[in-house]
Structure 1
Amino acid sequence: MLKCTICGHTEFKRANVLWPLLIEQWEINAEEVDYINRQQGETCTHCGASLRVVALGKAVQKGLNDNRPLKEIASTREPARWFKKPAEPVRILDVNGAATISDVMSAMPGYIRGDYPDVDMMNMSFADNSFDMILHSDTLEHVSDPVRALSECHRVLKPGGCVCFTIPMIVGRLTRSRDGLEPSYHGDPSSGADDWRVHTEFGADCWTYLIKAGFSDVRLFSVEYPAAHALMGVKEG
Protein backbone atom coordinates (compact mmCIF):
# COMPACT_ATOMS: atom_id res chain seq x y z
CA MET A 1 0.00 0.00 0.00
CA LEU A 2 1.29 3.44 -0.94
CA LYS A 3 2.07 5.50 2.14
CA CYS A 4 2.69 9.24 2.14
CA THR A 5 6.26 9.93 3.24
CA ILE A 6 5.25 13.42 4.37
CA CYS A 7 2.33 12.69 6.73
CA GLY A 8 2.06 8.87 6.84
CA HIS A 9 -1.51 8.60 5.49
CA THR A 10 -2.52 6.14 2.77
CA GLU A 11 -5.46 7.70 0.89
CA PHE A 12 -4.85 9.44 -2.43
CA LYS A 13 -7.01 11.19 -5.03
CA ARG A 14 -6.25 11.96 -8.66
CA ALA A 15 -6.70 14.88 -11.03
CA ASN A 16 -5.32 15.27 -14.56
CA VAL A 17 -2.87 18.14 -14.94
CA LEU A 18 -1.38 17.92 -18.45
CA TRP A 19 -2.73 20.18 -21.17
CA PRO A 20 -2.92 19.50 -24.95
CA LEU A 21 -0.14 21.87 -26.04
CA LEU A 22 2.42 20.33 -23.69
CA ILE A 23 1.38 16.82 -24.73
CA GLU A 24 1.89 17.80 -28.36
CA GLN A 25 5.22 19.57 -27.79
CA TRP A 26 6.69 16.71 -25.77
CA GLU A 27 5.22 14.08 -28.15
CA ILE A 28 3.86 12.14 -25.18
CA ASN A 29 1.88 8.97 -25.89
CA ALA A 30 -1.26 7.89 -24.03
CA GLU A 31 0.61 5.69 -21.52
CA GLU A 32 3.04 8.51 -20.74
CA VAL A 33 0.19 10.99 -20.34
CA ASP A 34 -1.41 8.65 -17.82
CA TYR A 35 1.61 8.19 -15.57
CA ILE A 36 2.73 11.83 -15.77
CA ASN A 37 -0.77 12.85 -14.72
CA ARG A 38 -0.36 10.48 -11.77
CA GLN A 39 3.09 11.84 -10.96
CA GLN A 40 1.89 15.43 -10.80
CA GLY A 41 -1.84 15.14 -10.08
CA GLU A 42 -2.30 12.21 -7.69
CA THR A 43 -2.19 13.65 -4.18
CA CYS A 44 -2.48 12.58 -0.56
CA THR A 45 -5.98 13.43 0.69
CA HIS A 46 -4.57 14.39 4.10
CA CYS A 47 -1.62 16.69 3.33
CA GLY A 48 -1.90 17.28 -0.43
CA ALA A 49 1.52 15.86 -1.35
CA SER A 50 1.72 14.73 -4.98
CA LEU A 51 3.33 11.43 -5.91
CA ARG A 52 6.49 13.26 -6.99
CA VAL A 53 6.70 14.89 -3.55
CA VAL A 54 6.11 11.51 -1.89
CA ALA A 55 9.05 10.16 -3.91
CA LEU A 56 11.20 13.11 -2.87
CA GLY A 57 10.19 12.48 0.73
CA LYS A 58 11.45 8.90 0.43
CA ALA A 59 14.86 10.15 -0.70
CA VAL A 60 14.94 12.69 2.14
CA GLN A 61 14.10 9.97 4.68
CA LYS A 62 17.09 7.96 3.46
CA GLY A 63 19.29 11.05 3.54
CA LEU A 64 18.27 11.70 7.16
CA ASN A 65 18.54 7.99 8.01
CA ASP A 66 15.02 8.09 9.45
CA ASN A 67 12.01 6.26 7.96
CA ARG A 68 9.35 8.12 9.91
CA PRO A 69 7.04 10.52 8.04
CA LEU A 70 8.82 13.86 7.59
CA LYS A 71 6.08 15.66 9.52
CA GLU A 72 6.88 13.52 12.55
CA ILE A 73 10.63 14.00 12.18
CA ALA A 74 10.22 17.78 11.99
CA SER A 75 7.78 18.00 14.90
CA THR A 76 9.76 15.87 17.37
CA ARG A 77 13.18 17.28 16.48
CA GLU A 78 14.82 14.22 17.98
CA PRO A 79 18.58 14.90 18.09
CA ALA A 80 19.62 11.25 18.05
CA ARG A 81 17.80 10.78 14.76
CA TRP A 82 18.88 13.64 12.56
CA PHE A 83 21.38 15.82 14.36
CA LYS A 84 24.99 14.99 13.61
CA LYS A 85 26.16 16.07 17.06
CA PRO A 86 24.83 18.31 19.85
CA ALA A 87 24.06 21.88 18.78
CA GLU A 88 24.82 21.13 15.15
CA PRO A 89 21.60 20.68 13.15
CA VAL A 90 21.62 19.24 9.68
CA ARG A 91 21.96 22.16 7.25
CA ILE A 92 19.38 21.85 4.46
CA LEU A 93 19.10 24.06 1.38
CA ASP A 94 15.69 23.87 -0.31
CA VAL A 95 15.93 25.40 -3.80
CA ASN A 96 12.62 26.86 -5.04
CA GLY A 97 10.61 24.64 -2.70
CA ALA A 98 7.82 22.19 -3.39
CA ALA A 99 4.33 22.32 -1.95
CA THR A 100 3.86 20.35 1.27
CA ILE A 101 7.41 19.07 1.76
CA SER A 102 8.89 22.56 2.07
CA ASP A 103 6.26 23.61 4.61
CA VAL A 104 7.04 20.58 6.75
CA MET A 105 10.81 20.78 6.50
CA SER A 106 10.91 24.50 7.26
CA ALA A 107 10.38 23.56 10.93
CA MET A 108 13.78 21.86 11.00
CA PRO A 109 16.69 23.80 12.50
CA GLY A 110 19.28 24.42 9.82
CA TYR A 111 16.68 24.68 7.02
CA ILE A 112 17.21 27.44 4.44
CA ARG A 113 14.85 28.23 1.58
CA GLY A 114 16.50 29.68 -1.53
CA ASP A 115 14.32 30.76 -4.46
CA TYR A 116 15.25 31.91 -7.95
CA PRO A 117 16.53 34.52 -8.78
CA ASP A 118 18.02 35.07 -5.29
CA VAL A 119 19.55 31.60 -5.55
CA ASP A 120 20.75 30.74 -9.06
CA MET A 121 21.51 27.02 -9.22
CA MET A 122 24.22 27.58 -11.82
CA ASN A 123 26.05 30.14 -9.69
CA MET A 124 25.24 29.78 -6.00
CA SER A 125 26.75 32.28 -3.58
CA PHE A 126 27.23 29.73 -0.78
CA ALA A 127 30.71 28.65 0.28
CA ASP A 128 32.12 25.22 -0.48
CA ASN A 129 31.04 22.44 1.91
CA SER A 130 28.13 24.43 3.39
CA PHE A 131 25.19 22.00 3.47
CA ASP A 132 24.38 18.44 4.51
CA MET A 133 21.43 18.19 2.11
CA ILE A 134 20.11 20.07 -0.91
CA LEU A 135 16.56 19.63 -2.20
CA HIS A 136 14.92 20.68 -5.43
CA SER A 137 11.80 19.38 -7.10
CA ASP A 138 10.96 19.68 -10.80
CA THR A 139 13.42 22.56 -11.09
CA LEU A 140 16.38 21.13 -13.02
CA GLU A 141 14.48 20.96 -16.32
CA HIS A 142 14.15 24.77 -16.21
CA VAL A 143 17.92 25.32 -15.85
CA SER A 144 19.77 25.89 -19.11
CA ASP A 145 22.81 23.84 -18.01
CA PRO A 146 21.70 21.05 -15.63
CA VAL A 147 25.19 19.57 -15.25
CA ARG A 148 26.54 22.92 -14.11
CA ALA A 149 23.65 23.26 -11.64
CA LEU A 150 24.32 19.82 -10.18
CA SER A 151 28.05 20.61 -10.06
CA GLU A 152 27.20 23.65 -7.93
CA CYS A 153 25.16 21.40 -5.64
CA HIS A 154 28.18 19.11 -5.37
CA ARG A 155 30.44 22.05 -4.53
CA VAL A 156 28.33 23.45 -1.69
CA LEU A 157 27.57 20.06 -0.14
CA LYS A 158 29.69 18.84 2.76
CA PRO A 159 31.55 15.55 2.22
CA GLY A 160 28.96 12.82 2.81
CA GLY A 161 26.12 15.23 2.06
CA CYS A 162 23.45 14.54 -0.54
CA VAL A 163 21.31 16.26 -3.12
CA CYS A 164 17.75 14.89 -3.40
CA PHE A 165 15.50 15.91 -6.27
CA THR A 166 12.73 15.05 -8.69
CA ILE A 167 12.41 15.82 -12.39
CA PRO A 168 9.62 15.05 -14.86
CA MET A 169 11.03 11.79 -16.21
CA ILE A 170 9.78 9.94 -19.28
CA VAL A 171 11.17 6.49 -18.57
CA GLY A 172 10.80 5.02 -22.07
CA ARG A 173 13.08 7.46 -23.84
CA LEU A 174 16.45 9.19 -23.48
CA THR A 175 16.93 12.76 -22.37
CA ARG A 176 16.76 15.44 -25.03
CA SER A 177 17.47 19.16 -25.06
CA ARG A 178 14.77 21.52 -26.28
CA ASP A 179 17.35 23.81 -27.88
CA GLY A 180 16.09 24.71 -31.34
CA LEU A 181 12.56 23.47 -30.59
CA GLU A 182 9.43 25.51 -29.99
CA PRO A 183 9.56 27.03 -26.47
CA SER A 184 7.73 24.89 -23.92
CA TYR A 185 6.64 26.02 -20.46
CA HIS A 186 5.41 24.45 -17.24
CA GLY A 187 2.93 26.13 -14.93
CA ASP A 188 0.57 28.54 -16.67
CA PRO A 189 1.20 27.83 -20.38
CA SER A 190 0.17 31.38 -21.29
CA SER A 191 2.62 33.13 -18.98
CA GLY A 192 5.74 32.66 -21.08
CA ALA A 193 7.88 33.40 -18.00
CA ASP A 194 11.51 32.51 -18.69
CA ASP A 195 11.97 30.67 -15.37
CA TRP A 196 9.08 28.34 -16.36
CA ARG A 197 10.66 27.50 -19.71
CA VAL A 198 11.72 23.86 -20.15
CA HIS A 199 15.28 23.43 -21.41
CA THR A 200 15.59 19.67 -20.94
CA GLU A 201 13.16 16.75 -21.28
CA PHE A 202 14.62 14.10 -18.98
CA GLY A 203 14.50 10.40 -19.75
CA ALA A 204 15.88 7.12 -18.40
CA ASP A 205 19.49 8.33 -18.59
CA CYS A 206 18.87 11.23 -16.18
CA TRP A 207 21.14 9.67 -13.55
CA THR A 208 24.15 10.27 -15.79
CA TYR A 209 23.84 14.00 -15.17
CA LEU A 210 24.79 13.40 -11.53
CA ILE A 211 27.86 11.41 -12.61
CA LYS A 212 28.91 14.21 -14.99
CA ALA A 213 28.52 16.68 -12.13
CA GLY A 214 31.01 14.82 -9.93
CA PHE A 215 28.84 12.45 -7.88
CA SER A 216 30.09 8.87 -7.79
CA ASP A 217 27.33 7.56 -5.50
CA VAL A 218 23.97 7.86 -7.31
CA ARG A 219 20.68 6.40 -6.06
CA LEU A 220 17.12 6.16 -7.41
CA PHE A 221 14.02 5.93 -5.23
CA SER A 222 10.68 4.80 -6.64
CA VAL A 223 7.28 4.87 -4.99
CA GLU A 224 5.10 4.13 -8.03
CA TYR A 225 6.59 2.83 -11.29
CA PRO A 226 6.67 4.43 -13.80
CA ALA A 227 5.06 7.51 -12.27
CA ALA A 228 7.08 8.66 -9.29
CA HIS A 229 10.82 8.60 -8.75
CA ALA A 230 13.40 10.70 -6.95
CA LEU A 231 17.16 10.82 -7.39
CA MET A 232 19.98 11.25 -4.90
CA GLY A 233 23.62 12.07 -5.39
CA VAL A 234 25.97 11.61 -2.43
CA LYS A 235 29.23 13.59 -2.23
CA GLU A 236 32.18 11.42 -1.37
CA GLY A 237 33.18 11.84 2.24
Structure 2
Amino acid sequence: MGNFIKNNFGICNLCNGIIVKLNNLDYGYRCINCRSSYVHRAIGLTINKYFEQKQNIQNVTVYELSSRGALFKFLQKKFKNLVFSEFYDDVTPGEYKNGIQCQDVQNLTFEDGSFELVTSTEVFEHVPDDLKGFREVVRVLKPNGKFIFTVPLFEVPTTIERAHFDKDGNLVHVLPPEYHGDRIRGKEHVLAFRNYGLDIVDRLKQAGFSSVEIARPSSLKHQIARKQVIVAEK
Protein backbone atom coordinates (compact mmCIF):
# COMPACT_ATOMS: atom_id res chain seq x y z
CA MET A 1 0.00 0.00 0.00
CA GLY A 2 2.87 2.35 0.83
CA ASN A 3 4.50 2.01 -2.59
CA PHE A 4 1.13 2.40 -4.30
CA ILE A 5 0.58 5.74 -2.57
CA LYS A 6 4.14 6.92 -3.29
CA ASN A 7 3.88 5.99 -6.96
CA ASN A 8 0.41 7.40 -7.59
CA PHE A 9 0.01 10.41 -5.30
CA GLY A 10 1.99 13.36 -4.02
CA ILE A 11 1.81 16.79 -2.41
CA CYS A 12 2.02 19.86 -4.63
CA ASN A 13 4.86 22.15 -3.57
CA LEU A 14 3.06 25.11 -5.18
CA CYS A 15 -0.28 24.96 -3.34
CA ASN A 16 -0.10 21.94 -0.98
CA GLY A 17 -2.83 20.24 -2.99
CA ILE A 18 -2.99 16.53 -3.76
CA ILE A 19 -1.16 15.25 -6.84
CA VAL A 20 -2.80 12.32 -8.62
CA LYS A 21 -1.37 10.08 -11.32
CA LEU A 22 -3.71 10.31 -14.31
CA ASN A 23 -1.57 8.38 -16.80
CA ASN A 24 1.97 7.11 -17.33
CA LEU A 25 3.21 10.20 -19.20
CA ASP A 26 5.51 12.77 -17.60
CA TYR A 27 2.61 15.23 -17.57
CA GLY A 28 0.37 12.57 -16.04
CA TYR A 29 0.92 13.65 -12.43
CA ARG A 30 -1.42 16.60 -11.88
CA CYS A 31 -2.38 18.58 -8.80
CA ILE A 32 -6.15 18.38 -8.41
CA ASN A 33 -6.19 21.88 -6.89
CA CYS A 34 -3.95 24.14 -9.01
CA ARG A 35 -3.56 21.71 -11.96
CA SER A 36 0.24 21.96 -11.81
CA SER A 37 2.33 19.61 -13.92
CA TYR A 38 5.81 18.41 -13.06
CA VAL A 39 7.15 21.35 -15.10
CA HIS A 40 5.47 23.93 -12.85
CA ARG A 41 6.50 22.08 -9.70
CA ALA A 42 10.11 21.73 -10.86
CA ILE A 43 10.51 25.44 -11.52
CA GLY A 44 8.74 26.26 -8.24
CA LEU A 45 11.13 24.01 -6.34
CA THR A 46 14.08 25.71 -8.03
CA ILE A 47 12.78 29.20 -7.23
CA ASN A 48 12.44 28.21 -3.58
CA LYS A 49 16.00 26.89 -3.56
CA TYR A 50 17.42 30.25 -4.61
CA PHE A 51 15.01 32.66 -2.91
CA GLU A 52 13.57 30.95 0.20
CA GLN A 53 16.37 32.20 2.46
CA LYS A 54 16.31 35.72 1.07
CA GLN A 55 15.28 38.39 3.56
CA ASN A 56 12.04 40.20 2.73
CA ILE A 57 11.30 37.67 0.01
CA GLN A 58 7.90 39.21 -0.67
CA ASN A 59 9.62 42.40 -1.80
CA VAL A 60 11.63 40.66 -4.52
CA THR A 61 10.76 42.18 -7.91
CA VAL A 62 9.62 39.46 -10.29
CA TYR A 63 8.59 39.33 -13.94
CA GLU A 64 6.70 36.28 -15.24
CA LEU A 65 6.06 35.85 -18.97
CA SER A 66 2.47 34.67 -18.50
CA SER A 67 -0.71 35.71 -16.72
CA ARG A 68 -2.26 32.40 -15.75
CA GLY A 69 -1.55 28.84 -14.72
CA ALA A 70 -0.17 27.07 -11.67
CA LEU A 71 3.22 28.79 -11.62
CA PHE A 72 1.64 32.22 -12.01
CA LYS A 73 -0.66 31.58 -9.03
CA PHE A 74 2.33 30.39 -6.99
CA LEU A 75 4.28 33.55 -7.82
CA GLN A 76 1.29 35.75 -6.98
CA LYS A 77 1.16 34.29 -3.48
CA LYS A 78 4.91 34.32 -2.92
CA PHE A 79 5.89 37.75 -4.27
CA LYS A 80 3.88 40.94 -3.89
CA ASN A 81 5.97 42.78 -6.51
CA LEU A 82 5.00 40.58 -9.46
CA VAL A 83 4.75 41.93 -12.99
CA PHE A 84 3.28 39.67 -15.66
CA SER A 85 2.37 39.78 -19.31
CA GLU A 86 1.25 37.86 -22.38
CA PHE A 87 2.27 38.15 -26.00
CA TYR A 88 -0.65 39.17 -28.20
CA ASP A 89 -0.23 39.23 -31.95
CA ASP A 90 -2.61 42.19 -32.31
CA VAL A 91 -1.41 44.42 -29.44
CA THR A 92 1.54 46.82 -29.26
CA PRO A 93 4.04 45.84 -26.53
CA GLY A 94 3.40 47.84 -23.38
CA GLU A 95 -0.31 48.21 -24.08
CA TYR A 96 -3.09 46.19 -22.47
CA LYS A 97 -5.72 43.72 -23.62
CA ASN A 98 -8.46 42.64 -21.21
CA GLY A 99 -6.39 44.06 -18.35
CA ILE A 100 -3.25 42.10 -19.28
CA GLN A 101 -0.11 43.85 -20.47
CA CYS A 102 1.34 42.76 -23.81
CA GLN A 103 5.09 42.22 -24.00
CA ASP A 104 7.35 40.85 -26.72
CA VAL A 105 10.39 39.34 -25.00
CA GLN A 106 12.47 40.37 -28.01
CA ASN A 107 11.61 44.03 -27.31
CA LEU A 108 10.61 44.48 -23.68
CA THR A 109 9.35 47.92 -22.66
CA PHE A 110 10.71 47.74 -19.09
CA GLU A 111 13.60 49.88 -17.88
CA ASP A 112 17.07 48.45 -17.38
CA GLY A 113 17.58 46.62 -14.08
CA SER A 114 13.89 46.36 -13.20
CA PHE A 115 13.73 42.84 -11.75
CA GLU A 116 15.57 40.47 -9.43
CA LEU A 117 13.89 37.41 -10.93
CA VAL A 118 12.45 36.62 -14.36
CA THR A 119 10.59 33.36 -14.97
CA SER A 120 9.01 31.52 -17.87
CA THR A 121 7.83 28.03 -18.73
CA GLU A 122 8.15 26.57 -22.23
CA VAL A 123 8.30 29.95 -23.98
CA PHE A 124 11.66 30.48 -25.68
CA GLU A 125 11.34 27.66 -28.19
CA HIS A 126 8.60 29.84 -29.71
CA VAL A 127 10.64 33.07 -29.82
CA PRO A 128 11.89 33.76 -33.38
CA ASP A 129 15.13 35.44 -32.24
CA ASP A 130 15.87 33.80 -28.92
CA LEU A 131 19.29 35.44 -28.57
CA LYS A 132 17.63 38.84 -28.77
CA GLY A 133 15.10 37.70 -26.17
CA PHE A 134 17.80 36.43 -23.83
CA ARG A 135 19.63 39.76 -24.16
CA GLU A 136 16.45 41.60 -23.24
CA VAL A 137 16.09 39.47 -20.11
CA VAL A 138 19.69 40.32 -19.18
CA ARG A 139 18.93 44.00 -19.69
CA VAL A 140 15.87 44.10 -17.42
CA LEU A 141 17.51 42.06 -14.64
CA LYS A 142 19.24 43.73 -11.74
CA PRO A 143 22.92 42.85 -11.14
CA ASN A 144 23.11 39.22 -9.97
CA GLY A 145 19.44 38.79 -10.88
CA LYS A 146 18.29 35.36 -12.00
CA PHE A 147 16.38 34.04 -14.99
CA ILE A 148 14.80 30.73 -13.96
CA PHE A 149 12.94 29.01 -16.77
CA THR A 150 12.15 25.85 -18.66
CA VAL A 151 12.10 24.85 -22.31
CA PRO A 152 11.76 21.42 -23.89
CA LEU A 153 15.44 20.52 -23.55
CA PHE A 154 16.93 17.50 -25.27
CA GLU A 155 20.01 15.78 -23.87
CA VAL A 156 21.93 16.31 -27.10
CA PRO A 157 24.89 18.65 -27.68
CA THR A 158 23.40 21.00 -30.27
CA THR A 159 20.18 22.95 -30.70
CA ILE A 160 18.28 22.15 -33.89
CA GLU A 161 16.82 25.17 -35.67
CA ARG A 162 13.46 24.28 -37.17
CA ALA A 163 12.41 27.63 -38.64
CA HIS A 164 13.48 31.26 -38.99
CA PHE A 165 12.57 34.52 -40.67
CA ASP A 166 14.73 35.57 -43.62
CA LYS A 167 15.98 39.12 -44.21
CA ASP A 168 12.72 39.99 -46.00
CA GLY A 169 10.59 38.81 -43.10
CA ASN A 170 9.47 35.60 -44.75
CA LEU A 171 9.07 32.52 -42.57
CA VAL A 172 11.40 29.73 -43.68
CA HIS A 173 10.84 26.17 -42.46
CA VAL A 174 14.07 24.20 -42.24
CA LEU A 175 12.23 21.15 -40.91
CA PRO A 176 8.56 20.13 -41.04
CA PRO A 177 6.59 22.57 -38.87
CA GLU A 178 6.10 21.62 -35.23
CA TYR A 179 3.30 23.36 -33.37
CA HIS A 180 2.55 23.50 -29.66
CA GLY A 181 -0.50 24.88 -27.88
CA ASP A 182 -1.16 27.63 -25.37
CA ARG A 183 -4.16 28.94 -23.47
CA ILE A 184 -4.62 31.94 -25.76
CA ARG A 185 -4.24 30.44 -29.22
CA GLY A 186 -5.33 26.88 -28.48
CA LYS A 187 -3.79 23.53 -29.35
CA GLU A 188 -1.28 23.17 -32.19
CA HIS A 189 -1.21 26.90 -33.01
CA VAL A 190 2.19 28.06 -31.73
CA LEU A 191 5.19 27.36 -33.96
CA ALA A 192 8.33 25.90 -32.40
CA PHE A 193 11.37 27.60 -33.93
CA ARG A 194 13.88 25.19 -32.41
CA ASN A 195 14.56 22.09 -30.35
CA TYR A 196 17.05 23.09 -27.67
CA GLY A 197 20.13 21.05 -26.90
CA LEU A 198 22.65 21.42 -24.10
CA ASP A 199 24.36 24.27 -25.95
CA ILE A 200 21.61 26.50 -24.57
CA VAL A 201 24.19 27.21 -21.86
CA ASP A 202 26.48 28.77 -24.47
CA ARG A 203 23.61 30.69 -26.05
CA LEU A 204 22.74 32.25 -22.70
CA LYS A 205 26.35 33.18 -21.97
CA GLN A 206 26.61 34.69 -25.45
CA ALA A 207 23.58 36.82 -24.55
CA GLY A 208 25.39 38.22 -21.52
CA PHE A 209 24.62 35.97 -18.55
CA SER A 210 27.62 35.47 -16.28
CA SER A 211 26.76 31.94 -15.18
CA VAL A 212 24.31 29.27 -16.30
CA GLU A 213 23.28 26.02 -14.61
CA ILE A 214 20.99 23.27 -15.83
CA ALA A 215 19.32 22.13 -12.61
CA ARG A 216 17.57 18.79 -12.40
CA PRO A 217 15.28 18.98 -9.37
CA SER A 218 13.83 15.70 -8.18
CA SER A 219 11.27 14.90 -5.49
CA LEU A 220 9.12 11.80 -5.12
CA LYS A 221 6.98 13.66 -2.58
CA HIS A 222 6.15 16.33 -5.17
CA GLN A 223 6.25 13.93 -8.15
CA ILE A 224 9.07 15.80 -9.88
CA ALA A 225 11.53 13.90 -12.04
CA ARG A 226 13.45 14.24 -15.29
CA LYS A 227 12.69 17.94 -15.84
CA GLN A 228 15.57 20.33 -16.42
CA VAL A 229 15.28 23.87 -15.07
CA ILE A 230 17.70 26.48 -16.35
CA VAL A 231 19.12 29.03 -13.92
CA ALA A 232 20.97 31.92 -15.57
CA GLU A 233 22.49 34.72 -13.50
CA LYS A 234 23.31 38.19 -14.74
State which of 181, 190, 197 in structure 2 corresponds to 1:187. Answer: 181
Cα distance in 2 for partners of 1:191, 1:134 equals: 26
| Alignment pair present for 1:58 and 2:28 | no
| Alignment pair present for 1:110 and 2:78 | no
State which of 10, 13, 29 in structure 1 corresponds to 2:21. Answer: 13
Mean Cα displacement is larger for which, 148-157 or 224-233?
224-233
State which of 77, 87, 96 in structure 1 corresponds to 2:66. Answer: 96
Using the size of structure 2 for normalisation, the TM-score is 0.73
State which of 154, 169, 177 in structure 1 corresponds to 2:138. Answer: 154
Assess, with a 3 A threshold, how the Cα gap between structure 1 residues 91 and 8 changes in structure 2: closer, same or farther. same
Mean Cα displacement is larger for which, 204-213 or 148-157?
204-213
Cα distance in 1 for partners of 2:126, 2:229 equals: 17
- 1:140-179 correspondence to structure 2 within 5 Å: 140-172=124-156, 174-179=158-163
CA drift of 1:226 comes to 6.9
Structure 1: gaps of 5 or more residues: 17-36, 67-78, 84-88
Aligned residue number for residue 138 of structure 1: 122
After superposition, give the CA deviation of every residue in 1:64-89 in whole Å (9 maximum; x if it has no partner): 134xxxxxxxxxxxx94515xxxxx2
Cα distance in 2 for partners of 1:146, 1:229 equals: 18
CA root-mean-square deviation: 2.7
Cα distance in 2 for partners of 1:97, 1:218 equals: 26
Is the 2:180–2:188 Cα contact (8 Å) retained in structure 1?
no
Assess, with a 3 A threshold, how the Cα gap between structure 1 residues 204 and 226 changes in structure 2: closer, same or farther. farther
CA drift of 1:148 comes to 1.2
Aligned residue number for residue 166 of structure 2: none
| Alignment pair present for 1:222 and 2:209 | no
SS at match of 1:170: coil
Mean Cα displacement is larger for which, 7-16 or 214-223?
7-16
Assess, with a 3 A threshold, how the Cα gap between structure 1 residues 48 and 93 changes in structure 2: closer, same or farther. same
More strand by share: 2
Aligned residue number for residue 221 of structure 2: none
Assess, with a 3 A threshold, how the Cα gap between structure 1 residues 211 and 98 changes in structure 2: closer, same or farther. farther
SS at match of 2:231: strand
Assess, with a 3 A threshold, how the Cα gap between structure 1 residues 113 and 154 changes in structure 2: closer, same or farther. same
| Alignment pair present for 1:208 and 2:192 | no
Paired letter, 1:7: C
Assess, with a 3 A threshold, how the Cα gap between structure 1 residues 129 and 230 changes in structure 2: closer, same or farther. same
Cα distance in 1 for partners of 2:61, 2:145 equals: 10
Cα distance in 1 for partners of 2:217, 2:135 equals: 27
Query: Percent same amino acid at aligned positions?
Result: 25
CA drift of 1:3 comes to 5.9
Cα distance in 1 for partners of 2:208, 2:153 equals: 21
Assess, with a 3 A threshold, how the Cα gap between structure 1 residues 12 and 175 changes in structure 2: closer, same or farther. farther
Cα distance in 1 for partners of 2:67, 2:28 equals: 17
After superposition, give the CA deviation of every residue in 1:164-216 in whole Å (9 maximum; x if it has no partner): 100011224631000222221101798664xx110011123222221111112
More helix by share: 1
Structure 2: gaps of 5 or more residues: 1-5, 89-101, 164-173, 219-223
Aligned residue number for residue 198 of structure 1: 192
Mean Cα displacement is larger for which, 168-177 or 208-217?
168-177
CA drift of 1:42 comes to 2.8
- Count of matched residue pairs: 195
